[in-house]
């Protein structure tokens, strides 16, 4: 455990210094075998999907994303190999992504129309289908941790707004100054979105629609846990909540089948119950993980106008990372120990 904690510390020191990422070669994106464990463990993560094009990222920023994704997936897999329970790994992995300004969750959360940050998260255990979720929290550093407390210490599944904040206080969870969440690039995105919306509100820009983090893990006990966290949609109004905290839409897990975490245009993931639908197709139609995920993303979600992606794994440690956008920040190590890290569609 101590080695695991030290690894995280080193990772964050390096991730915060772009110069330290210059040594990362493009070969880091390629799949390669690191270690196969028995019984198998597996882990998959995403950091959001959208119009992520190579020409939109500087070389240094691209390397930084790849470094952070690679470091997080490696640390999470190491913890699973050492016997850490999936629920703890998912919480640590998502907390790490929430603490990074690179992703639209926690520290990197986007701004609402009112110029504040409202955060959503959910977590689900496949062993007993217990789940916890929070939405529209404003002073909780790591919403995934509060979602876990909702799951473990309450009779409820989903708490929102002031009620979720009150519950956090009752459980001894420290509140932070909302100013912690301020990131200049996110605020600039809000200003751009407001300028566009003053001209036309018919369509949403990529800044507005996308940005989520998620993780699904399979541990040595055969337990599958899925979690998702987000800052939501840039310039969102009227208390809008997307799919990330909604069990069945943005997050779902069942030990007998697999687990899913989603990212994309939340309204469409809610309407099509995407996370649950993928696992239901595996159960009732007896199709494999990759086929089920592709059917839902390309044949159900896309025809209805929805875009985004999912990361999934099944009870045997097989992994699928499927998206219908130009890119999705993603990484995985499957049950055979094969690691993949990528950003763009062709990675």
Q: Is 251 one of the annotated active-site residues of the chain? A: no
Across all residues in the chain, what is the average pLDDT?
Answer: 89
What the block records as the tokens of 312 is 């999934």
Q: What is the full DSSP assignment across 82-124?
A: TT--HHHHHHHHHHHHHT-TTSSSGGGPPP-TTS---EEEEEE
3-state SS assignment for residue 251:
strand
Instruction: State residue 196's pLDDT score.
Output: 82
Instruction: State residue 50's pLDDT score.
Output: 85
Sequence-distant contacts of 2-9: CB under 8 A, at least 24 apart: 3/78, 4/75, 4/78, 4/79, 4/82, 4/84, 7/75, 7/78, 8/75, 8/92, 8/96
Q: Is the pTM of this model over 0.85?
A: yes
pLDDT tens track for 95-115: 999 999 999 999 999 999 999
Count CA atoms within 13 Å of residue 236 on its CB side.
Answer: 25
Calculate the alpha carbon distances from 45 to 77, 162, 280 in Å. Answer: 11, 30, 21
191 vs 47: CA distance, rounded Å: 23
Asked if residue 289 has pLDDT above 90, the reply is yes
In angstroms, the first-to-last Cα distance of the chain is 33
Q: What are phi and psi of 70, to 5 degrees?
A: -65, -45
Instruction: Work out whether strand 42-50 and strand 32-33 pair parallel, antiparallel, or are unpaired.
Output: unpaired
104 vs 97: CA distance, rounded Å: 9
Query: SS in 3 state form for 115-136?
Result: CCCCEEEEEEECCCCCEEEEEE
pLDDT tens track for 233-279: 999 999 999 999 999 999 999 999 999 999 999 999 999 999 999 99
Asked if residue 296 has pLDDT above 60, the reply is yes
210 falls in which pLDDT band (50, 70, 90)? low
Domain ranges of the chain: 2-24+37-324
What the block records as the tokens of 58 is 């500087």
3-state SS assignment for residue 235:
coil
Q: What is the largest CA-CA distance in the chain?
A: 58
What the block records as the tokens of 78 is 């190491």
pLDDT tens track for 128-168: 999 999 999 999 999 999 999 999 999 999 999 999 999 99
Query: Could you count the other beta carbons within 10 Å of the beta carbon of residue 112?
Result: 22
Helix, strand and coil in the chain, % to nearest 5: 40, 25, 35
Query: SS in 3 state form for 33-57?
Result: ECCCCCCCCEEEEEEEEECCCHHHC
Q: Would you say 65 and 57 are in contact if contact means Cβ atoms under 8 Å apart?
A: yes
Tokens 């909302």 — which residue? Answer: 178
Instruction: State residue 94's pLDDT score.
Output: 98
- As its CATH architecture, domain 2-24+37-324 has 4-Layer Sandwich (3.60)
* Choice among 112, 203, 212, 325 that is catalytic: 212
307 vs 265: CA distance, rounded Å: 6
DSSP strands (E only) in 164-239: 213-218, 224-230
Asked if residue 52 has pLDDT above 50, the reply is yes
Angle between helices 86-98 and 2-15 (to 10 degrees): 20
Instruction: State residue 38's pLDDT score.
Output: 77
């Amino acid at each position: 455990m101590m080695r695991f904690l030290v690894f995280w510390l080193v990772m964050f020191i390096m991730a915060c210094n772009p110069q330290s990422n210059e040594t990362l070669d493009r070969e880091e994106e390629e799949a390669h075998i690191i270690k196969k464990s028995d019984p198998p463990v597996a882990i998959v993560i995403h950091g959001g999907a959208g119009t992520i094009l190579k020409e939109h990222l500087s070389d240094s920023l691209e390397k930084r994303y790849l470094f952070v994704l690679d470091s997080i997936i490696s640390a999470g897999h190491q913890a699973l190999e050492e016997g850490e329970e999936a629920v703890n790994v998912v919480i640590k992995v998502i907390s790490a992504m929430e603490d990074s300004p690179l992703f639209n969750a926690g520290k990197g959360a986007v701004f609402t129309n009112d110029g504040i940050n409202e955060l959503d998260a959910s977590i689900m255990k496949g062993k007993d289908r217990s789940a916890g979720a929070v939405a529209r929290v404003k002073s909780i550093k790591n919403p995934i941790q509060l979602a876990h407390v909702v799951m473990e210490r309450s009779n409820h599944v989903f708490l929102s707004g002031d009620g979720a904040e009150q519950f956090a206080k009752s459980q001894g969870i420290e509140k932070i100054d909302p100013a912690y969440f301020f990131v200049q690039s996110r605020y600039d995105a809000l200003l751009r979105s407001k300028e566009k919306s003053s001209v036309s509100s018919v369509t949403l820009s990529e800044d507005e629609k996308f940005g989520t983090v998620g993780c699904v893990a399979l541990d040595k006990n055969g337990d599958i846990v899925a979690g998702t966290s987000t800052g939501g949609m840039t310039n969102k109004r009227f208390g809008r909540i997307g799919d990330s905290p909604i069990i069945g839409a943005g997050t779902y897990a069942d030990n007998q089948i697999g687990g899913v975490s989603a990212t994309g245009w939340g309204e469409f993931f809610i309407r099509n119950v995407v996370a649950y639908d993928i696992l239901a197709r595996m159960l009732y139609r007896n199709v494999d993980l990759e086929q089920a995920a592709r059917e839902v993303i390309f044949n159900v979600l896309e025809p209805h106008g929805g875009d985004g992606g999912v990361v999934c794994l099944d009870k045997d440690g097989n992994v699928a990372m499927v998206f219908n956008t130009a890119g999705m920040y993603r990484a995985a190590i499957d049950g055979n120990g094969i690691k993949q890290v990528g950003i763009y569609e062709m990675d």
